[in-house]
Amino acid sequence: MTSTLKKTVLVASRHPHLEDVRKRVLEQAGYRVLTIRNPEQVEEACKNHKIDLALVGYSVTSAEKHRIAAEAMRLCNCPILELWDREPPQIRGDGSIFDHFSLTAEDFLDKVNSVLKATPTKS
């Protein structure tokens, strides 16, 4: 998968196991993965890396989801993918915000791939 080799995904999660699973699936698909646990870490990640997608897990609180998304859009200029489970999606906005209810690792990866294909590369 040469198209994903240079893509970097920022994964925000409060749940270590879910973070590890998502990171493993993405890395096995050829993505570079950075993980954060709180909104304060977005700025450093965006300053030091070209982030292609910010993925916000469902274990992140609603308030933090909004802060992470706003900071990632402002500082990284990248699309946002919000994962959701029991609660419906919390982040709303323009065409660069996506959501997904994941049932399997395959459908999760398919959604990441489709979001990255749907959004133009920004420098």
> What's the whole-number mean pLDDT along residues 53-63?
94
Compute the average pLDDT of residues 77-90: 89
Mean pLDDT (whole number) for 104-113: 95
Third-level CATH fold of 2-118: Rossmann fold (3.40.50)
- pLDDT above 70 covers what percent of the chain? 93
CA distance 57 to 61: 9
2 has pLDDT over 50: no
Mean pLDDT of 75-87: 92
**Could you count the other beta carbons within 10 Å of the beta carbon of residue 5?**
10
What's the pLDDT band for 108 if we cut at 50, 70, 90? very high
| Helix, strand or coil, per DSSP, at residue 82 | strand
**What is the residue-averaged pLDDT of the chain?**
89
Rounded to whole angstroms, the maximal C-alpha distance in the chain is: 36
Would you tell me how many other CB atoms lie within 10 Å of the CB of residue 48? 9
Q: What angle do CA 118, 61, 44 make, to 5 degrees?
A: 65
pTM (2 d.p.): 0.89
| Mean pLDDT within 7-31 | 94
